[in-house]
Amino acid sequence: NGAPSAPYTFRNLLNAFYDAVHSVNNSNFVIAGGLAPNAVPGKAIAPLDFTRRALCMTGSYKRPKPIRGCNFKVKADAWAVHPYTTGSPVHSPSKPDNMTVSALPRMTNLLRKATQAKRLTSRFGRTQLWVTEFSWDSKPSDPGGVPSKLLSRWVAQAMYLAYKANVQTFTWFGLRDQARSSGQKWSDTFESGLYFRRASVDKDKAKPVLKAFRQPFYAEKTRAGFRFWGRTADSQKATVDIFGRRKGSGRFSRVTTVQANANGLFAGVVRRRGFTARGSVFAKPRGASSSIAFGLWKTRDFYQPPFG
């Protein structure tokens, strides 16, 4: 009938694999999907379209619903996507069924509706949404990458958006820049490492973005102050002081104190007038280093290939 067969073949293989893995040890965890962000005509199905077909679902990303008479139940403990984004974290996908980091709630909604319709199950209760591959190339190393300071901002905001979408695991690709051959295109390799590549791993140098990934902190202006979110570098409980600067210059002062939970996560709202879109905020867990300051201006979107 012209419909792609991959989702249906995939779900049969997945369920057989799931049963085999859990027959060895019930505590084993099966991650399914690993879906690329965009459809490629004649080659690849868009991730939301693929997921709907595999899970016996139909409808739009806003209103997914089960297909009547299709009762196949997919087994997965996590559903994984690679939401590489061709722009800033607020960039929307070019087509409704493609995926960017800002569109992750679409996948969250689809998985939730499929679970409610008993088309998706996990022995752990609920199938989690994981981001198992995500990055932007940095400049340096890649001349076409995201400038270092801007990249730190983008990474913190991307992790916040993933958190809001209830993503349980967020994996950066990769730890160090890939090696390049002479004459090779920059877009053919990943200069997205958290470390600049040197002659050997022990000589690699940390990029500024490492701090933003290890200790993400995001803030946005509200009418009467700002809201914020972050995580401690060691993902542990902590008392966290929030410092703010109302304008583009001047000293930072402590504006509030919050408690990070057992996973190191903290969030809050500061109701204090005078903060402008040129202001900045950072977090400092007591006894540890501070986060990178996050500017309260709106993140501008523009075309930026993730691979430079």
Task: State pLDDT tens for residues 103-140.
Answer: 999 999 999 999 999 999 999 999 999 999 999 999 99
Whether 74 and 123 have beta carbons less than 8 Å apart is answered as no
Query: For the chain, which ranges sit under pLDDT 50?
Result: 1
Sign of the dihedral through C-alpha 64, 68, 73, 74:
negative
pLDDT of residue 182: 86
pLDDT of residue 113: 98
Bin 272: left if φ > 0, else alpha if -120 < ψ < 50, else beta: beta
CA dist 63 to 68, 114, 218, 299, Å? 15, 11, 30, 28
pLDDT of residue 47: 98
CA distance 48 to 26: 29
Closest of 301, 306, 297, 304 to residue 92, by C-alpha: 301
Contacts of 22 (CB under 8 A, 6+ apart): 28, 30, 123
CA distance 246 to 295: 10
CA distance 290 to 165: 26
pLDDT of residue 2: 52
pLDDT of residue 216: 99
Domains and CATH numbers, the chain: 6-131 (no CATH), 216-295 (2.60.40)
pTM (predicted TM-score): 0.96
Name the β-bridge partners of 258.
240
Mean pLDDT of all residues belonging to the chain: 97
pLDDT of residue 5: 84
Other Cβ atoms closer than 10 A to 46: 20
pLDDT of residue 3: 63
